Structure 1
Amino acid sequence: MRLVILVLCVIVLFSYAGAYDPLDPNGNVTIKWDIVSWTPDGYVADVTLYNFQMFRHIMNPGWTLGWTWAKKEVIWSMIGAQTTEQGDCSKFKGNIPHCCKKIPTVVDLLPGVPYNQQFTNCCKGGVVAAWGQDPSQAISSFQISVGQAGTSNKTVKLPKNFTLLAPGPGYTCGRAKVVPSTTFLTPDKRRKTQALMTWNVTCTYSQFLARKNPACCLSLSSFYNETITPCPSCACGCQNKRNCVKSDSKILSMVGVHTPKKDNEPLMQCTHHMCPIRVHWHVKQNYKDYWRVKIAITNFNYRMNYSLWTLAIQHPNLNNVTQVFSFDYKPILPYASINDTGMFFGMKYFNDLLMEAGPTGNVQSEVLLQKDKDTFTFKQGWAFPRKVYFNGDECMLPPPDSYPFLPNSSPQTPSAFPALILSLIFFLVL
């Protein structure tokens, strides 16, 4: 009996740890329903998804939202989104509902739909930016007219069993909870109006629930050591090893090879790590008061473009970032007393799209950091990241004993010039 209890405790703790991210402790997707008017048999509601995650965005093919109606509700109409199935509406005569399913599934509309089908913050194909990257684009909304639902706060029943795919599994949604009604400003900003009723649903992400293996890995190098520390073998699992494609394969010239499949099955380039994404951190140069790092992100999936990609890194010297040369950068402050985490992302219309595997399937930048003279050192792997996240998923790091070490004959802050040529050669062939 004790063993069973212990196992259950471990499972609960492990599940909680998977859903809690110490670098983004408050990250979640909040779904808010605002009833804005009553109808003869129900209500009209504005439904909004807020992506409050600092560095995990909802990427293509976008979010899918589902729930279970509490009674016999139907959806008369929708603006800015649609259900994937209508269901059996045979009992209705004349005016046919948009959806009669007990468990509807809703998706965002694609860009370019007619104006009369659009709603504020809709029609982006379900793609939603991370809050830390762009709060104005971290919102997705639609309007829904619900029938057979009750026509007052006392008769309306909250939907149950919310599910969120964004775009795949990983999110767990809590119960809907009634909250104070949302207030709105009129367009002229001279008057406030109020929702008739509001409820929220909070969904949290767990990388453990999303996939069994990591989705990215980290490799390392430095100017002071010829050793290149690669990603661990099978860092992301080797289940795709049999079907991987060599970079010179004739398959890559076939029409449609880069088109994503409905099940998002990857077409991976053959590597020893078998990760879709590799992040490389190279300690490039050392100056008297500064040091320079080069960061390269490489895509090994021939079927995936990463739009709005993000790279979050934890390192103690990120509190002294002086200049980032070809990425945008924002510090992340998960706790008020700690400033060791930052988020890198692409510049709009320049490198915010990480292309599929191939010659253009990489983005890179350099970072100049001012030394903290009390803690700075090249010894014992201090110059390398503590944690790395790509698109919100934690990357597998090499074991610390494999990091490029500082030669015993070298001073603590060696000159960069003798090894600069080696560094340049390495990145020309990366």
Structure 2
Amino acid sequence: MELKNPSHQRQEENSMGSERSVIRKHPCFLFRKLGFIMSVFLCGMMFHPAVGYDPLDPTGNITFKWDVISWTPDGYVAVVTMNNFQMYRHIMNPGWTLGWTWAKKEVIWSMVGAQTTEQGDCSKFKGNIPHCCKKTPTVVDLLPGVPYNQQIANCCKGGVVSSWGQDPAGSVSSFQVSVGLAGTSNKTVKLPKNFTLLGPGPGYTCGPAKIVPSTTFLTPDKRRKTQALMTWNVTCTYSQFLASKNPPCCVSFSSFYNTTITPCPKCACGCRNKNCIKSDSKLLTAAGINTPRKDNAPLLQCTHHMCPIRVHWHVKLNYKDYWRAKVAITNFNYRLNYTQWTLVIQHPNLNNVTQLFSFDYKPLVSYGSINDTGMFYGMKYYNDLLMEAGPLGNVQSEVLFQKEQDTFTLKQGWAFPRKVYFNGDECAMPPPDSYPHLPNSAHVSVPVMLKTFATSVLLLMVMVLA
């Protein structure tokens, strides 16, 4: 065995170290290292609980604003206002539920327009008992029809809040809370933390409370402005991934030029729920079959897709300058009525919607000036309530589009939507290669064929008369 001179060994180590430093400075190494760091960063963002970005509604969120309007001997009175800034995602029955954790030993002396679900242990209080003594209170909205002295503006809707894009006036909910054993100044008040929002199911993640400039109010006569003593905001965002690992809806297609119907994908919404019921089952006549459960567990009609909601898009007619599509929404859940439902569709021809039948429509410009996304919703008191599964469990409409001659085609599934959302959740789409396709002889449009036929008949009549 040959022994190395220590000085030579040090020279080799220095040489290897310089080679490693050169490798680390090489662009390829730096790029790989940067790529690894970016991958870790993106993975962290992907699984971060606050991720709720929606490309069709990038600024959509629910914001709770706490305005301290007066100080009390041991705390403050605040008006809490919930603003739903989401364009097409609303909160339906059984309504919103808001929770938080007090920073100190605060209690709720009283509430107007809302109530806590539990009082908690208030045994240490004598005489005047607080409304809630829990460290982590849970607040719900009051039902309509409560006495007037228990109401404030925008309260008492049963927790139902419209989306901002559908009904801005109905997208607000408020309540008043009197907090005790808290600070009595801007410097001594500690903000609540660990906010949670259920609306009505999971999926919302709330950030920390942040102090913002105090809100200004206009007096009823609009001649004077007042200002909140202190204001903080809490912002909550929605993630479909956190709400459910399976989509809650699916899409099927059909067309006038092909007898083939493209169904929803099999088990599009998961097939683990085996407690489905057939449409002709005698159990449907049992009392209470349509009563919702507290955990919102569905009772689905047995289908191959096992989705509560199916959206069907049918390419109905093709005119010279226009084309027509029919949209039908079917509810397969026997336990749930969908109030104030919304349907968002992404299609390149939505910038030329000419006429709509039995639905309301509003374009949604999601990014830049591209107008390829629109929101459909039911007309108030007419079909804004999608009934539970059964004969009445569907709503439908037809849409008339004006053609853009340089882009319109019936080939390669162009006439079908790119994305479909129901109540703010993206629906499962069938694979593109399964869309109804044009027959091989369908390269000539119907108007052209009719024109050719009429010309032939005219020439034949001229020949006969001659």
TM-score range, shorter chain: over 0.9
User: How many percent of aligned residue pairs carry the same amino acid?
Assistant: 79
1:374 to partner: Cα distance: 1.8
Of 406-415 and 307-316, deviating more is 406-415
Partners of 1:287 and 1:416 within 8 A in 2 = no
Whether the aligned pair in 2 keeps the contact of 1:284 and 1:416 (CA below 8 Å) is no
Per-residue deviation, 1:9: 4.3
Quick one: which amino acid aligns to residue 377 of structure 1? T
Q: Does 1:139 pair with 2:177?
A: no
C-alpha contact 1:313 1:389 (8 A) present in aligned 2 = yes
- CA RMSD of the aligned region, Å? 1.8
1:381 to 407, 410, 413: 413
- Give the one of 21, 31, 38 matched to 2:71: 38
Match of 2:126 in 1: 93
Residue number in structure 1 paired with 2:137: 104
1:13-52 alignment to 2 at 5 Å? 13-15=45-47, 19-52=52-85
1:287 aligned to 2:319? Answer: yes
Match for residue 371 of structure 2 among 336, 339, 351: 339
Are 2:165 and 1:165 aligned? Answer: no
TM-score, length-normalised on structure 1?
0.94
User: 1:181-200: per-residue Cα shift (whole Å, max 9, x none)?
Assistant: 11111111111111111000
Q: 2:303 is matched with which residue?
A: 271
Aligned counterparts of 1:163 and 1:339: Cα–Cα separation in 2: 34
Report if aligned partners of 2:320, 2:447 keep a CA contact under 8 Å in 1. no
Counterpart CA distance in 2 for 1:168 and 1:8 is 30
Distance 1:352 1:271 in 2: 25
Q: Distance in 1 between matches of 2:128 and 2:404?
A: 70
Aligned equivalents of 1:114, 1:41: Cα separation in 2: 28
Offset at 1:413? 3.9
- The alpha-carbon distance between structure 1 residues 416 and 385, as it changes in their structure 2 partners (threshold 3 A), is farther
Mark the runs of 5 or more structure 2 residues left unpaired by the alignment: 1-32, 451-466
| Residue 271 (structure 2) aligns with | 238
Identify the residue that residue 257 of structure 1 maps to in structure 2.
289
2: CA distance, partners of 1:281 / 1:417? 26
2:248 alignment counterpart? 215
Contact 1:285 1:416 in 2 (8 A): no
Q: Distance between the aligned counterparts of 2:277 and 2:52, measured in 1?
A: 34
Matches for 1:289-304 after TM superposition, within 5 Å = 289-304=321-336
From 298, 301, 325, give the equivalent of 2:357.
325
Question: 1:180-199 counterparts in 2 under 5 A?
Answer: 180-199=213-232
Q: Does 1:313 align with 2:345?
A: yes
1:178 aligns with: 211
Residues 92, 4 of structure 1: CA spacing in aligned structure 2 closer, same or farther, 3 A cutoff?
farther
Shift of the 15–367 alpha-carbon distance from structure 1 to 2, 3 Å rule, reads: farther
Q: Which runs of 4+ in 1 moved over 4 A?
A: 2-10, 415-418
Match of 1:200 in 2: 233
Task: Give 3-state SS (helix, strand or coil) of 1:90's partner.
Answer: coil
Query: How far 1:157 moved relative to its partner?
Result: 0.7
Gaps of 5+ in 1: 419-430
**CA distance in 2: counterparts of 1:5 and 1:333, whole angstroms:** 34
1:12 Cα shift? 2.6
Shift of 1:408: 2.0
Structure that is richer in helix per residue: 2
Q: What is the letter of the counterpart of residue 362 of structure 1? A: N
In 1, distance between residues paired with 2:46 and 2:264? Answer: 25
Larger Rg, first or second structure (1 or 2): 2
CA 1:90 to 1:148, structure 2 compared with 1: closer, same or farther past 3 Å?
same
Provide the rounded CA distance (Å) in 2 between the counterparts of 1:129 and 1:195: 26
CA–CA distance in 1 between the matches of 2:444 and 2:198?
49
